[in-house]
Structure 1
Amino acid sequence: MLRTLSLLLCLSSAVAEQLCRQDAPNGYKVRLSIETALGKEAYVWNENESFFFRSTLAFAMRQQLDGHRFEESNIQMCNETLRVSFWFVVTWPDDPSSTVGGAEVEKALRRFRARFNGAFLLTDQTLEFLGVPPTLPAPVSYDTEPWLIVFAVLMSLICVLLVLLALLSRRKKRMNQKSAFLEQDAVVFTQM
């Protein structure tokens, strides 16, 4: 039993080495420019940061492919360099010998790009997934169009001004009629 288990562990690591290479069909290269982004407050990329990256990517894959329980062990990283660049592939939880399709990984990376940037305190320029262009944020859509609000306010002001103009002209007409009536009364009174 112990032999079988150790053979399976060795075999899975050998399969992972074959899956994660530079020319892997579903592999992606990542470049991080931590010092450029953070300057003197830059952190050191180590095994803990690598674990955090795999966990964040596993979260994104779980969200993208609902129903699959991706773990950080499903994210295989290789060819890590001191300048913090590496390749990764995502394997299926049920079958660690096959990789998740590139389209699904790209969707997850685009959908949760802000989470990756926030997790590592980086931006789209300092955290690059080569081959996966950053997406622009969706345009803001309002429940009511802004031009419609401005139009309604202006039309309301025009209507109020028209009502005031009508009321003022009516008042002026009444005042004119009243002054004409008073003048007639004054003329009649003086004639008496």
Structure 2
Amino acid sequence: MSTRFLFALCLALTWVAVPVQGLCRPGVPDGYKVRLSIKTALGDQAYEWNESEMFLFRATLAFAMRRHFNVETFNVSSIIVCDETPRVSFWFVVTNPANTAELIPGQQVEEAVRKSRNRINSAFLLTDHTLQFLGIPPTLAAPVQPATQPWLIVFGVVIGVVTAGILAILISTFVQKSRKEKGIVEEEKLENVYENGFARDGPEGKAGTLNGGYTEDERHTQL
């Protein structure tokens, strides 16, 4: 009885494993390809990639998914790997713990990887350039969303130029008006001088004074 039960259990597990493994294949929309350059990164201290290292990778991915969704239902079995090559590259997908026949959307996987990228890199002593998730931009090369929209920058430049032009015109007008008013005041002063009987500086003396010599001559002549 127990033998039949074990046989049925093994058959059931095999039957379940086949569809799950079929979810992972190169180019699957919700999957990602990973490429590791261990020798390039570590040189003589490079370690050998084996089943234990693959287990660690799946465990770190399960950790990233737990952290992203803030749940503890993801396990190593949730990370399905396929198309592994000796040059250390492979594809992986993440299955839904509530339904192993359903894959976690690729966008959610990408966000989880990006959120825990440093932890994943540290586990393998690698960097974004030697542990590559193809299709997921490196942490340091993430798309940058500008704080100010480009059209606002252009608008600000145009407004600045227009404002500077208006200010230049106002200042120029003010200066010309001041010069004109100053010229009018000088002309009025000269007119007042001539109207009061004062002459300009000349041989007769300074403006506003009389020559005493001419005054004495005039007195003697009258006598």
Alpha-carbon deviations, 1:133-186, whole Å to 9, x = none? 1133899xxxxxxxxxxxxxxxxxxxxxxxxxxxxxxxxxxxxxxxxxxxxxxx
Residue matched to 2:57: 53
Amino acid at match of 2:61: L
Tell me the SS of whatever aligns to 1:64.
Answer: helix
Residue matched to 1:190: none
Distance 1:123 1:68 in 2: 27
Percent identity over paired residues: 55
- For structure 1, list consecutive stretches of 5 or more residues without a partner in the other structure: 140-192
**Could you say which structure has the larger radius of gyration?**
2
Amino acid at match of 1:54: R
Counting matched residue pairs gives 139
Alpha-carbon deviations, 1:17-37, whole Å to 9, x = none? 210100212111000000000
Tell me the SS of whatever aligns to 2:99.
Answer: coil
Contact 1:12/1:96 (8 A) holds in 2: no
TM-score, normalised relative to structure 1: 0.68
Distance 2:85 2:141 in 1: 31
Which residues in structure 2 correspond to 1:99-138 (within 5 Å)? 99-136=103-140
Distance 2:30 2:12 in 1: 23
Tell me the SS of whatever aligns to 1:86.
Answer: strand
TM-score, normalised relative to structure 2: 0.59
Contact 1:29/1:129 (8 A) holds in 2: yes
Distance 2:130 2:27 in 1: 23
Contact 2:129/2:138 (8 A) holds in 1: no
Residue matched to 1:177: none
Which residues in structure 2 correspond to 1:170-181 (within 5 Å)? none
Distance 1:42 1:136 in 2: 24
Q: Does 1:62 align with 2:71?
A: no
Q: Does 1:17 align with 2:21?
A: yes
Residue matched to 2:90: 86
Contact 2:110/2:136 (8 A) holds in 1: yes
Distance 2:14 2:86 in 1: 27
Tell me the SS of whatever aligns to 1:48.
Answer: helix
Amino acid at match of 1:63: R
Which range moves more in the overlay, 106-115 or 10-19? 10-19
Tell me the SS of whatever aligns to 1:45.
Answer: coil
Amino acid at match of 1:45: W
Contact 1:32/1:84 (8 A) holds in 2: yes
Displacement, 1:10? 0.9
Moved over 3 A (4+): 1-4
Contact 1:20/1:78 (8 A) holds in 2: yes
Which range moves more in the overlay, 30-39 or 13-22? 13-22
